Structure 1
Amino acid sequence: MASFNPVDYAVPAFVALVMIEMIWAWKARPEAYEAKDTLVSLAFGLGSTIAGLAFGGFIVALSLWLYSFHLIDIGWQWWIWPICFVLDDLAYYWFHRTAHRVRWFWASHVNHHSSQHYNLSTALRQTWTGFFAISFIFRLPLVLVGFHPAMLAICAGFNLIYQFWIHTEAIGRMPRWFEAVMNTPSHHRVHHATNPRYLDRNYAGVFIVWDRLFGTFEPESDDERIRYGIVKQLGSFNLLWAVFHEWVGIAQDVWRAPWRHKLSYLLREPGWSHDGSRETSDMIRARWLERHPENKPVSSKNAIAERGKAA
């Protein structure tokens, strides 16, 4: 069971779906695919697989060692699996949110956002440096609680499989009940957008309810075309630059910064600078909201007050 990886079995379906979407894009939306961009995405996927093989053994060994200290004997009963899947998805939400809010983790995760196109091949842009960034630590608390590492690995695999299909513009919106609970292409297009209103929103893996619960949800708007990529676009199809550019940027900033600010360039949000010469996503979004106050979120307290006045 420990050797079972559901993603391995899904790869043929991934390839088939990419080909089908290419055929759709050729007639319906030619700009959805760009040859060089797609090749970079495929190379990302291959490199990520190699990195996983190279460093996965250490993560497995560490997880099994930590499991020897687990608090509860949870077991393998059938009803444990959906609980594990939901909790693993919650752990993914917090990893994903942290990966956008802490530059150290962003340096690894930015790879996934580096394409200015949004299609199924974009889903293959997985990091090569996740091990170096210690991104795996977000699932370790579940190991300590008592979920077996093999069970978590299988749930994480199905989580990743689910996230593949939401990287598309070929699907508009799903039924309202589905959009309310699950992550969908519409929700995830928002997450990949660089439009100010969409920055750092919709971190969900499978269940969008986490974003709704923790205040990071933003619906897709029909009156604004989405722009994909990162705030400062790569401007290059160089694979190595795409993989390592943010690590290079961190090294340069840490080297040049005064001593009291060096750690902040690792742990503060992307775009932060000690002299205010750059902008974070919060700054960009706040400036946009000043120009568009009608889009400011209304707190539940204010909403109740407004309803009271209307009554």
Structure 2
Amino acid sequence: MHTCAMTSPMTSGAPAAQGFDPGLILMAFAPIFVLTIAWEAWYWSKRDRSIYSWRDTLSNATLALMHQASDAFFLWLMIRTVYTWCYAHGLRAMPETWWSFALLLLLQDFLYYWFHRASHRVRWMWASHVAHHSSEGMNFSTAFRQSLTYPISGMWLFWIPLAFIGFSPDWVILAVGLNLAFQFCVHTRLRRRWPVIEKIVNTPSVHRVHHARNPQYIDRNYAGVLTVWDRMFGTFVPEQEAPQYGITRQVRTHNPLTLTFHEWRDMFADVWRERDLRYLWKPPEWRGPQAVPQGVASQVDPLSPNPTGPSSASGRAEQT
């Protein structure tokens, strides 16, 4: 890590593609996040102590540290190298201006929508993402509940097109981090609905729906920042019924290792037991012909917003 964001006349104030470390910029958010969690915990301690479980919060913090260590290791070992190669052999370098940075944020948010949707509809990716959904709580600390296996499941692959079309690797990494930093703000029960705002931008109400296991809410509201993608592709649902958080067959543990690896274990057990590699890329609820009578197995479009049968928030993804 070297220096923080720099500007130059050619960038017109946009963060320079060279000479700064996006990790330092994003690290600046850490104390803000911690103080916000502390304030929210204090707020709910005076009103509803059930909102914050200290065991759950400690588990979230541990998972966050594991996730950050894994991200840092894979980023410097491999991911940045791949982005740099794609940038060097791609179409052409984008000019370093505010408009190009704004375009990058828009394109990255669009790709985030598809990453997030695939993370619910492709079991290999759900094996990582399930850790984030396994909490029965919903508060700012839930945003920290992430898996160290995201580099293995392939989150970083979704940003390769950004480097290939000419955005520098540092800019790409910064855009991803800013998107995720924004999403910290929507993991809370503090606000009800902002109907006008949520037509365009993700809000706590919109994201509460995404974390709910109510049947009508499952596999909905994949937005990172902009809800226009959900509306465009038919996955938006407003919050109406009170959300019930978690996954439908809950993992009854706060052990970070179990929360991280239980679905990987179950997925590979299914592959081995039935000698069927399709368990790796089919939806989490999919059952092979050896598991159920022929013709009963759900044949679901891996990216269907309205799957038949159990959802990715249910099914075997939660067995432990």
Does 2:22 correspond to 1:4?
yes
In the other structure, the counterpart of 1:193 is 212
Counterparts of 2:246 and 2:22 in 1: how far apart (Å)? Answer: 33
Higher mean C-alpha deviation, range 2-11 or range 276-285: 276-285
Please, what is the CA RMSD of the aligned residues? 1.7
CA distance in 2, matches of 1:216, 1:115: 22
Q: Deviations over 1:229-248 (max 9, x none)?
A: 11221011111100101000
Q: Does 1:64 align with 2:78?
A: no
- The 2-side partners of 1:93 and 1:85 are apart by 12
Out of 68, 83, 95, which is 1:49 matched to?
68
Q: Secondary structure at the match of 2:60?
A: helix
Q: CA offsets per residue over residues 2-55 of structure 1, 9 Å max, x none?
A: 412232000000001001110111122211111111110000111111111211
Distance (Å, rounded) in 1 between the aligned partners of 2:63 and 2:110: 26
In 1, Cα distance between the equivalents of 2:128 and 2:310?
23
Partner of 1:90: 110
What's the counterpart of residue 272 of structure 1? Answer: 286
Q: Which amino acid aligns with 2:22?
A: F
Give the CA deviation at 1:67: 1.0
Pair 1:283-2:308 in alignment = yes
Identity, % of aligned positions? 40
The aligned counterpart of 2:189 is 169
Question: Which structure shows the higher helix fraction?
Answer: 1
The one of 206, 212, 222 aligned to 1:203? 222
How far has the Cα of 1:278 moved from its partner?
8.3
Q: Does 1:255 align with 2:266?
A: no
1:10-159 → structure 2 map (5 Å cutoff): 10-57=29-76, 58-159=78-179
Which residue of structure 2 lines up, in the alignment, with residue 298 of structure 1? none
Deviation at 1:69, TM superposition (A): 1.1
* TM-score, normalised by the number of residues in structure 1: 0.86
**Amino acid aligned to 2:60:** S
Question: Which 5+ residue runs of structure 1 have no aligned equivalent?
Answer: 287-311
Q: Deviations over 1:111-168 (max 9, x none)?
A: 1111010000000012200111122111101111111111111111111110001000
Instruction: Give deviations 1:180-222, integer Å, cap 9, x for gaps.
Output: 100000000000000000000000000011000011101100x
Q: 1: CA distance between counterparts of 2:196 and 2:238?
A: 14
In the alignment, the residues of structure 2 paired with residue 28 and residue 211 of structure 1 have an alpha-carbon distance, to the nearest angstrom, of: 33
2:202 aligned to which of 183, 196, 211: 183
Match for residue 291 of structure 1? none
1:240 aligned onto 2:257: yes
How far is 1:225 from its partner?
Answer: 2.2
Task: Give the Cα–Cα distance (whole angstroms) in 1 for the partners of residues 82 and 54 of structure 2.
Answer: 40
Task: State the Cα deviation string for residues 79-128 of structure 1 (Å, max 9, x = none).
Answer: 11111001000011000000000000110111111101000000001220
Following superposition, which runs of at least 4 residues in structure 1 exceed 4 angstroms of deviation?
276-281
Contact 1:103/1:268 (8 A) holds in 2: yes
1:295 is matched with none
Going from structure 1 to structure 2, the CA distance change for 1:109 and 1:278 (only over 3 Å counts) comes to farther
- Distance, in Å, in 2 between the alignment partners of 1:55 and 1:111 is 19
Compute the displacement of 1:284 (Å). Answer: 4.4
Give the Cα separation in 2 of the matches to 1:73 and 1:245.
Answer: 42
